Chains A and B, each alone.
Chain A
């Protein structure tokens, strides 16, 4: 009973926060809603018996990636002009078609979920050991591929991050 209540509450928060994340004109506000949405999803994972996935969701997405997003957005010069542009993008003509498509997908999802029948929330808890065993057992090829991809990403990031010495302090002004 309590679990169900928590589940619905978290699901509602996740949905609402996602909608707000899309519709906010202020990019920083939008990102914060997105963080909330991710946290709610983490709670869902937890309720479904996957504490490991929940923790990873928070560490990786809410904790690291979103902070970097925030970081980047804050460095941009976002003023009234940027907000006006956001407002333009939020005109009904722009969002109605994708919105309808998304609704269709949602309906699909619900239908499939109903067909599949009820799987009780939190039926079994998957311990981290099981996750590890699965990753390095049946899915080891996938894990290796992903790690190679990540390595490539790191190398690329290192290459891009290297910048040629820009001359500093060329400005005028004799003090």
Chain B
């Protein structure tokens, strides 16, 4: 039973319930629509929260493993409660706004960043027919995601400028330059997948890969370049090492969130982990067959698609963490050079190859 059918069942049950109370069917449909949206939005936020809770713990353990130490061990068995303790700590912290800061922008920054991160979850196809808002994906899921992704930057820029701190400002500027630049190779890689699947819908892209693991995009030779491009620019979009220059600790103190404490800082933090999961999800959808089982369609193991999707995403997240704790950070000009001189041309090459493949009829 997919998520979609569960939704339909709940919907019908609610309509029946309301009709029993004498509410007109038309009105109750409207109410339920609004309710669905609200639940969907809440689900997105909850997804981010859960992702952050799990990933903070995971990151601590992974970094501990890589650095030959143990990571958290004190809070609960093998430190499993560490994330919760972190959350409580952040909740209890004093919220400090610098005296000369722009109070409004300082507050809006993290909210915007988190909101945008949550918005992108709307189009993720969790299971067969199971986006949070099926309608948005109507034909432009990929575009929606790209559009929303480009907005995340505004949160960083506003927060960094609103803090009235030179380090924050430098971090915001670096962030803006970096995210605008890396969006281009990311979109070019996306376009290759879109051409392959002949649809802009993320759900459609998964449909296109139906079959066992050999039908997935990452096993098609002309997809190898887009895979690399997407992974690199995805890591750059979420500001993680080796692309963490907007918050480079040893250079910019903490970059755009230098002046944030308590919950506002937590919002940035949440959104960063939310973005991490998002990139992993999208990568899985684009190249790893999304919710499809590697053993063929329909899944011989009968596992819900969401499990497969999350498992694939987790793999990507672990790779990204591994990279973070291993590599040094690029300098800002090297970073921009990589995007403009290497990745964007490579993106065009990938696109050209894809077009050739389609014209030759190999796809």
Contacts and interface: CB of A to CB of B under 8 A. Distances in A.
A and B touch in the complex (CB under 8 A): yes
A35 B112 CA distance: 12
Contact of A32 (B158, B176, B183): B158
Q: Determine the main DSSP class of B at the interface with A.
A: helix
Interface string A49-69: 001101110110011101110
Given A2-B33, A64-B150, A67-B154, A55 B143 contact: yes
Contact of B169 (A32, A62, A67, A74): A74
B57 interface: no
Given A28-B102, A32-B105, A51-B139, 13 more contacts: A29-B104, A29-B105, A51-B136, A52-B139, A52-B140, A52-B143, A59-B147, A62-B147, A62-B151, A63-B149, A67-B157, A70-B154, A128-B139
B153 interface: yes
Interface in B126-175: 136, 138-140, 143-144, 146-151, 153-154, 157-158, 161, 169, 172-173
A55 B138 contact: no
A70 B155 CA distance: 11
Name, among B104, B158, B169, the residue most crowded by chain A CB atoms within 10 Å (CB to CB): B158
A62 B144 CA distance: 13
B155 to A, nearest CB: 11
A71 B154 CA distance: 10
B151 A55 contact: no
A71 B173 contact: yes
Contacts of B8: none
Given A58-B151, A74-B169, A128 B180 contact: no
Interface string B251-263: 0000000000000
Given A55-B146, A58-B148, A74-B161, A64 B30 contact: no
A59 B146 contact: yes
Interface string A7-28: 0000000000000000000101
B139 A127 contact: yes
Name, among B33, B148, B157, B183, the residue most crowded by chain A CB atoms within 10 Å (CB to CB): B157
Interface of A: 1-2, 26, 28-29, 32, 35, 42, 51-52, 54-56, 58-59, 62-64, 66-68, 70-71, 74-75, 125, 127-129
B333 interface: no
A26 B140 CA distance: 35
Nearest to B184: A64
Interface residues of B, number: 33
A71 B146 contact: no
Contacts of A1: 26, 30
B176 A128 contact: no
Given A32-B158, A63-B153, A128-B200, A74 B144 contact: no
B78 interface: no
A22 B177 CA distance: 26
Q: Determine the main DSSP class of A at the interface with B.
A: helix
B319 interface: no
A54 B136 CA distance: 11
B30 A66 contact: no
A125 B197 CA distance: 21
Given A32-B158, A66-B154, A71-B173, A58 B147 contact: yes
Interface in B86-133: 102, 104-105, 108
Nearest to A46: B136
Contacts of A59: 143, 146-147, 150
B161 A28 contact: yes
Nearest to A5: B30
Contacts of B176: 67, 70-71
B362 to A, nearest CB: 22
A71 B147 contact: no
Contact of B157 (A52, A54, A74): A74
26 contacts: A1-B30, A2-B30, A28-B105, A28-B158, A51-B139, A54-B140, A55-B140, A55-B144, A55-B146, A58-B147, A59-B143, A59-B146, A63-B153, A67-B154, A67-B157, A68-B180, A70-B161, A70-B176, A71-B157, A71-B176, A71-B177, A74-B157, A125-B139, A127-B139, A128-B143, A128-B200
A51 B104 CA distance: 32
A67 B136 CA distance: 25
Contact of A58 (B33, B138, B150): B150
Nearest to B172: A74
A75 B157 CA distance: 12
B19 interface: no
B357 interface: no
B323 to A, nearest CB: 26
Nearest to B158: A32
Contacts of A51: 136, 138-140, 143-144
B34 interface: yes
